[in-house]
C-alpha cells in the first residue's frame, strides 16, 4: 500500500515536471535549469565509454545550473555536472563553471564585460555547452577536435574572461579571451603522455582567444581560435628508462570554424592544428620533442521539421601531421600505426517527441584508433583498426 | 504585422533591428538608460512566435532557441520568460519594469497601457 502510494507520488511528480515550462524554477532575478542524459554504446571492436563490445550503459550526464542577476550589470551563474563515461569520467559531481560576470559597458552598438571564476573555454562552435545534449548536433561530438579523452583541459579555466561585442551594419563581431588555470586530471596524462607515469602535472596555466563574425541573420558564422596551455610535470628524481622526469608540456592551439545556415540545412566545418612540445620531459619524449596534430570535420544537418533532424559527418584526425600513416610512431614506440589517425563516417537522427525530450541514434564507421581512450582500451595491441559503433541516447531537460 | 511593445517606463521610442535581435537573443542585459531588460515571448514552438522571429528579427526560430540554450548552459545569461497567450503578454509587459514583448494578434494591438516601439 505504502509502496504504491510512493510510486504514484513519484509518477505524479514526474508528470508534473514534464508539463512545466522551461526553466523549472525562476523568479524575477534568478532561474534554474538542468538536464539528464543516458546513453548506450555498442561497438564491434574496441571500447568506447565502458565495455561497449558487450553493450555499455556507462554513459550518463547530469547537470543543474543557476543564474542570478545580482544587479542590472552583475550576473552570478554556476553549473554542477556529473558525468559518467566509461573509464574516462567517474560520475563524481564537479563544478563546470561558477562565475561572476560584470558587464561594464553596454549600449545599442555593442557591449563589453569581464567575468571572474571558473569560465567555460570558448573553443570552436560547441565546446562551451558540449555536455548539454540539446546544444550539440550529435551524441558524440567530432572527436578529432572535441576529444573526450582529455576533456577537462578543454572544458573550463579558473581565472578571468574578457569579452566584447560590436554591431556593424552588416553583422556582429564577438571576441573573448579566457586566461587562467585549466582544469587538469589523470586524463590529461593519458591524452598527452599516453599513459599514467610516475609523477604528475603539478601546475598549469593558459589562455584561449576566440573571435567570431556573423551577419545579423546568422546565415553564416566564421570563427577563429588561438591559445596556449602549459603543464608542469613533476617526475620522480630518477625516472625509469623511457619515463619522463621534471619538465613541461606546451600545447598551442589554432582553430577555424565555418557554418552556413539555411531554414532546413546547416553546413558546418571546423579545423584545428595542435602543437605539442614535450622535449624537456626527457625519456621517450626526447626521441620526438615536438608534434603537430591536424584535425577537421565536415557536417551537414537536415531539419525535416521541429521534431526530426538528420546529419552526416566526416571527421578526420592525424595525431602527427608529419607521420600521417603512423608508421614512424609504430617504429619508435611500438604502438599500432592506426593509433595515430582516425577517419570517422557518422550518420545520425534526432527526434524531439516533446518539448523537453530529445532522443538520438547514430552510427559510426571508423578507421583508426587515434581518439580512442587508453583508459577504456588499456592494451594497445588488443585494439583494431576498423570498427563500427552504434549509440543511442535519451535526454530530458528541465 | 508585429507590434513590439515595452513597459511605459522604458525610455527609448525606437530601436534598430539588430539591437532588437540583441535584446530578444538575451544578449543585451540593460536598456540604454541602465534599467534591466525583461524579455517576454509567446510559446517558442508556436506560429505567432515563429512568425515574429522570422519577420521582425530576420532569423530562423531554431537559431534563436540555440542562442538561448547556449547562453543558459554556459553561464552567459538567462532565458526569456514564456507567457501563455497575448492577454498575458500585455499584462506582464504592462506590469513589469523594463519589460519588452510583442503582439501578433491585431485584436490586442494598440493598447494604451504599454508603449509601442518603432523598429527601423
As a whole number, mean pLDDT of residues A238-246 equals 85
Comparing CB atoms, the residue among A35, A97, A106 nearest residue B74 is A97
Q: Any idea what the CATH number is for the domain that residue A166 is in?
A: 2.40.160.10
A240 secondary structure, DSSP code: P
Q: What angle do CA A91, A97, A98 make, to 5 degrees?
A: 125
- Test B45 with A355 for CB contact under 8 angstroms: yes
Check if A67 contacts B (Cβ < 8 Å): yes
Set of chain A residues whose Cβ sits within 8 Å of the Cβ of B35: 72
Give a yes or no: residue A315 inside a domain.
yes
- Report pLDDT for A23: 61
Give a yes or no: residue A183 inside a domain.
yes
pLDDT tens digits, A304-353: 999 999 999 999 999 999 999 999 999 988 889 999 999 999 999 999 99
In DSSP terms, which residues pair with A261 in a beta bridge?
A266
Q: 3-state DSSP call for residue A374?
A: helix
* Residue A183 binned pLDDT confidence (cut-offs 50, 70, 90): confident
pLDDT tens digits, A28-55: 788 999 999 999 999 999 999 999 999 9
| Single pTM value for the model | 0.90
Of A80-89, A232-241, A294-303, the least confident: A232-241
Residue A10 has pLDDT above 60, yes or no: no
Average pLDDT, chain A: 90
pLDDT tens digits, B47-59: 999 999 999 999 9
Q: What distance in Å separates the CA atoms of residue B34 and residue A230, rounded to the nearest whole number? A: 41
Comparing CB atoms, the residue among A101, A135, A165 nearest residue B69 is A135
- Report pLDDT for A24: 60
- Report pLDDT for A17: 44
CA distance A287 to chain B (A): 41
Comparing CB atoms, the residue among B22, B35, B76 nearest residue A72 is B35
- Report pLDDT for A326: 95
Give a yes or no: residue A178 inside a domain.
yes
pLDDT tens digits, A280-300: 888 888 888 899 999 999 999
Q: Which domains does chain B have, with CATH numbers?
A: 3-119 (3.40.190.10)
Set of chain B residues whose Cβ sits within 8 Å of the Cβ of A31: 72, 78-79
As a whole number, mean pLDDT of residues A68-92 equals 92
Give a yes or no: residue A339 inside a domain.
yes
Q: Which residues of B touch A (CB under 8 A)?
A: 15-19, 21-22, 27-30, 32, 34-36, 45, 58-60, 62-63, 66, 69-70, 72-79, 81-82
ipTM of the complex: 0.91
As a whole number, mean pLDDT of residues A222-244 equals 90
Check if A51 contacts B (Cβ < 8 Å): no
Comparing CB atoms, the residue among B16, B28, B69 nearest residue A129 is B69
Comparing CB atoms, the residue among A99, A135, A261 nearest residue B75 is A99
Check if A261 contacts B (Cβ < 8 Å): yes
Pure H helices in chain B: 17-24, 47-52, 61-72, 86-95
- Test B77 with A99 for CB contact under 8 angstroms: no
Of A10-19, A59-68, A273-282, the least confident: A10-19
The count of C-alpha atoms lying within 13 angstroms of the C-alpha of A36, restricted to the half-sphere facing its C-beta, is 4
Q: What distance in Å separates the CA atoms of residue A320 and residue A340, rounded to the nearest whole number? A: 7
Q: What distance in Å separates the CA atoms of residue A206 and residue A155, rounded to the nearest whole number? A: 13
- Test A306 with B62 for CB contact under 8 angstroms: yes
Please give the residue range of the domain that contains residue A377. 35-397
- Report pLDDT for B114: 93
**Is A167 within 8 Å of A110 (Cβ atoms)?**
yes
As a whole number, mean pLDDT of residues A192-197 equals 76
Residue A22 has pLDDT above 80, yes or no: no
Average pLDDT, chain B: 93
pLDDT tens digits, B23-35: 999 999 999 888 9
Domain count, chain A: 1
- Report pLDDT for A294: 97
Give a yes or no: residue A21 inside a domain.
no
Q: What distance in Å separates the CA atoms of residue A84 and residue A225, rounded to the nearest whole number? A: 29
- Report pLDDT for B23: 95
**Is A339 within 8 Å of A370 (Cβ atoms)?**
yes
* Residue in chain B nearest A305 by alpha carbon: B62
CA distance A134 to chain B (A): 8
- Report pLDDT for A20: 44
Give a yes or no: residue A22 inside a domain.
no
Give a yes or no: residue A304 inside a domain.
yes
Give a yes or no: residue A2 inside a domain.
no
Q: Per the structure block, which three cell numbers stand in for A354? A: 516533446
pLDDT tens digits, A250-269: 999 999 999 999 999 999 99
**CB pairs below 8 Å between A and B: how many?**
99
CA distance A167 to chain B (A): 8
Q: Output phi, psi for A150, to 5 deg.
A: -135, 45
Q: 3-state DSSP call for residue A18?
A: helix
CA distance B110 to chain A (A): 26
- Test B78 with A167 for CB contact under 8 angstroms: no
As a whole number, mean pLDDT of residues A142-150 equals 86
Q: What is the DSSP string of A103-138?
A: EEEEETTEEEEEEEEEEEP--TTTGGGTT-GGGSSS
Residue A196 has pLDDT above 80, yes or no: no
Amino acid at each position: 500500500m505504502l509502496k504504491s502510494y510512493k510510486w504514484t507520488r513519484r509518477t505524479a511528480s514526474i508528470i508534473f515536471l514534464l508539463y512545466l515550462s522551461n526553466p523549472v524554477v525562476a523568479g524575477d532575478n534568478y532561474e534554474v535549469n538542468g538536464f539528464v542524459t543516458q546513453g548506450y554504446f555498442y561497438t564491434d571492436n574496441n571500447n568506447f565509454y565502458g565495455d561497449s563490445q558487450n553493450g555499455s550503459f556507462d554513459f550518463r550526464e547530469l547537470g543543474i545550473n543557476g543564474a542570478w542577476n545580482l544587479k542590472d550589470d552583475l550576473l552570478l551563474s554556476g553549473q554542477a555536472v556529473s558525468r559518467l563515461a566509461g573509464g574516462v569520467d567517474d560520475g563524481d559531481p564537479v563544478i563546470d563553471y561558477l562565475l561572476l560576470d560584470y558587464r561594464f559597458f553596454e549600449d545599442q552598438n555593442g557591449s563589453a564585460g569581464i567575468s571572474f571564476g571558473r569560465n567555460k573555454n570558448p573553443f570552436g562552435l560547441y565546446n562551451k555547452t558540449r555536455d548539454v545534449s540539446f546544444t550539440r548536433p550529435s551524441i558524440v561530438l567530432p572527436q578529432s577536435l572535441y576529444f573526450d579523452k582529455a576533456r577537462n583541459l578543454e572544458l573550463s579555466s579558473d581565472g578571468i574572461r574578457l569579452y566584447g561585442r560590436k554591431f556593424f551594419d552588416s553583422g556582429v563581431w564577438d571576441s573573448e579571451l579566457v586566461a587562467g588555470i585549466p582544469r587538469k586530471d589523470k586524463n590529461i596524462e593519458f591524452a598527452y603522455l599516453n599513459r599514467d607515469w610516475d609523477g604528475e602535472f603539478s601546475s598549469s596555466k593558459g589562455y584561449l582567444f576566440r573571435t567570431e563574425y556573423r551577419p545579423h541573420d546568422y546565415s553564416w558564422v566564421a570563427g577563429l581560435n588561438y591559445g596556449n596551455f602549459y603543464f608542469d610535470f613533476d617526475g620522480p628524481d630518477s625516472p625509469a628508462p623511457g619515463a619522463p622526469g621534471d619538465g613541461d608540456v606546451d600545447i598551442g592551439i589554432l582553430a577555424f570554424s565555418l557554418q552556413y545556415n539555411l531554414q532546413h540545412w546547416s553546413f558546418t566545418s571546423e579545423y584545428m592544428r595542435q602543437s605539442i612540445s614535450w622535449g624537456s620531459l626527457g625519456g621517450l619524449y626526447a626521441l620526438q620533442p615536438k608534434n603537430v596534430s591536424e584535425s577537421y570535420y565536415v557536417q551537414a544537418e537536415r531539419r525535416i521539421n521541429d521534431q526530426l533532424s538528420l546529419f552526416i559527418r566526416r571527421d578526420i584526425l592525424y595525431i602527427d601531421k608529419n607521420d600521417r600513416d603512423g608508421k614512424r610512431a609504430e617504429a619508435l614506440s611500438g604502438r599500432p600505426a592506426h593509433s595515430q589517425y582516425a577517419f570517422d563516417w557518422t550518420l545520425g537522427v534526432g527526434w524531439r517527441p516533446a518539448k523537453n525530450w530529445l532522443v538520438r541514434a547514430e552510427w559510426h564507421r571508423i578507421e583508426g584508433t587515434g581518439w580512442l581512450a587508453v583508459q577504456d582500451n588499456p592494451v594497445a595491441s588488443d585494439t583494431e583498426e576498423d570498427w563500427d559503433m552504434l549509440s543511442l541516447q535519451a535526454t530530458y531537460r528541465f | 504585422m508585429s507590434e513590439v511593445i515595452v513597459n511605459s517606463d522604458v525610455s527609448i521610442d525606437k530601436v534598430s533591428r539588430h539591437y532588437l535581435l540583441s535584446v530578444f537573443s538575451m544578449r543585451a542585459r540593460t536598456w540604454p538608460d541602465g534599467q534591466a531588460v525583461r524579455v517576454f515571448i509567446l510559446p517558442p514552438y508556436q506560429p505567432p512566435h515563429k512568425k515574429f522571429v522570422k519577420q521582425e528579427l530576420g532569423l530562423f526560430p531554431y537559431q534563436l532557441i540555440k542562442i538561448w540554450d547556449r547562453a543558459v548552459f554556459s553561464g552567459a545569461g538567462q532565458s526569456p520568460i514564456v507567457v501563455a497567450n497575448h492577454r498575458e503578454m500585455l499584462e506582464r509587459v504592462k506590469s513589469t519594469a523594463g519589460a519588452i514583448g510583442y503582439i501578433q494578434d491585431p485584436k490586442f494591438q494598440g493598447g494604451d497601457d504599454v508603449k509601442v516601439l518603432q523598429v527601423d
